[in-house]
């Protein structure tokens, strides 16, 4: 089937099998490998991307369901002027250890901060409930998201 998407601001038209998962479309067809496959069962959140601005687990969305939609992956976060404030906050607050969950964490945080620009620590923890860090580095991840909220103008 032919699908057309806008990924990180660029238009793509590709031929995919109906059963192709969005995450495989992103990784294998578009060759954007920043989005990881973790559990493949919509539990871990490593494959989180934005679909029309909202976080989704791309292992549980068909590529054909994203036809005509807008997708943002981790590669779409930084701009010419540098890292996105969320990425920068992860860097400065040591919000990553092995880094495998990081793209998903950043995308989930981006979706959440758009919805709730000045969250409490508890709200950040709840917002990230669908993203697992097997290094268990949650403390600094939460710290990073709170720092990003401050940087982006939503400090509480």
Partner 1 sequence: MFPASFEYVKANSIRDAISILSDDDDAKVLAGGHSLLPLMKLRLAAPGTLVDIGGIRELSYIEDKGDHIAIGALTRHHDIEHSGLLKESVPFLSYVASLVGDPSVRHRGTIGGSISHGDGASDLPAAVLALDGDLVVEGPSGERIIKASEFFIGFLETALGQGEILKEIRVPKITGGWSYQKFNRRAQDWAIVGVAAVSVGETKVSLVNMGSVPLRAYATEETLKNGGSIEEASEKASEGLQPPSDLNASAEYRKHLAKVLVNRALTETLAQ
115-134: contacts with partner 1 (CB under 8 A): 126-127, 129-131
From residue 66 to residue 95, what is the string marking binding to partner 1 with x (rule CB under 8 A)? Answer: ------------------------------
Q: Given candidates 73, 102, 111, 140, which one binds partner 1 under the rule CB under 8 A?
A: 111
Taking the least distance from each CB to partner 1, the nearer of 99 and 130 is 130
Task: Report CA torsion sign: 21, 11, 77, 75.
Answer: positive
Instruction: State the number of binding residues for partner 1 (CB under 8 A).
Output: 31
Q: Residue 35 corresponds to which tokens in the numbers above?
A: 């989005």
Measured from the CB of residue 48, what is the shortest distance to partner 1 in angstroms?
6
In the list 6, 8, 42, 97, the residue contacting partner 1 (rule: CB under 8 A) is 42
| Footprint on residues 48-67 left by partner 1 (CB under 8 A) | 48, 51, 54-57, 60-62, 64-65
Q: Cα separation of 18 and 147, whole Å?
A: 41
Q: Whose Cβ is closer to partner 1: residue 40's or residue 75's?
A: 40
Two structure tokens written together for 14: 């590709």
End-to-end CA distance of the chain: 47
The full 3-state SS of 48-114, as one line of letters, equals EEEECCEEEEHHHCEHHHHCCCEEECHHHCCECCECCHHHHHHHHCCCCCCCCCHHHHHHHHHHHHH
In the complex, the residues that contact partner 1 under the rule CB under 8 A are 1, 17-21, 24, 40-43, 45, 48, 51, 54-57, 60-62, 64-65, 108, 111-112, 126-127, 129-131
């Amino acid at each position: 089937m032919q699908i057309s998407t806008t990924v990180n601001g660029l238009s793509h038209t590709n031929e995919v099998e109906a059963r192709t998962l969005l995450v495989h479309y992103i990784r294998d067809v578009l060759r954007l490998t920043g989005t990881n496959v973790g559990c493949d069962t919509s539990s871990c959140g490593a494959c989180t991307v934005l679909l029309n601005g909202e976080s989704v687990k791309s292992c549980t969305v068909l590529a054909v369901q994203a036809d005509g939609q807008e997708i943002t992956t981790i590669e779409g976060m930084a701009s010419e002027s540098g890292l996105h404030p969320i990425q920068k906050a992860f860097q400065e607050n040591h919000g990553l250890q092995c880094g495998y969950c990081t793209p998903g964490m950043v995308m989930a945080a981006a979706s959440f901060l758009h919805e709730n620009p000045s969250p409490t620590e508890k709200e950040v923890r709840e917002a990230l409930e669908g993203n697992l860090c097997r290094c268990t580095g949650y403390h600094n991840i939460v710290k990073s998201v709170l720092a990003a909220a401050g940087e982006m103008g939503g400090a509480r």
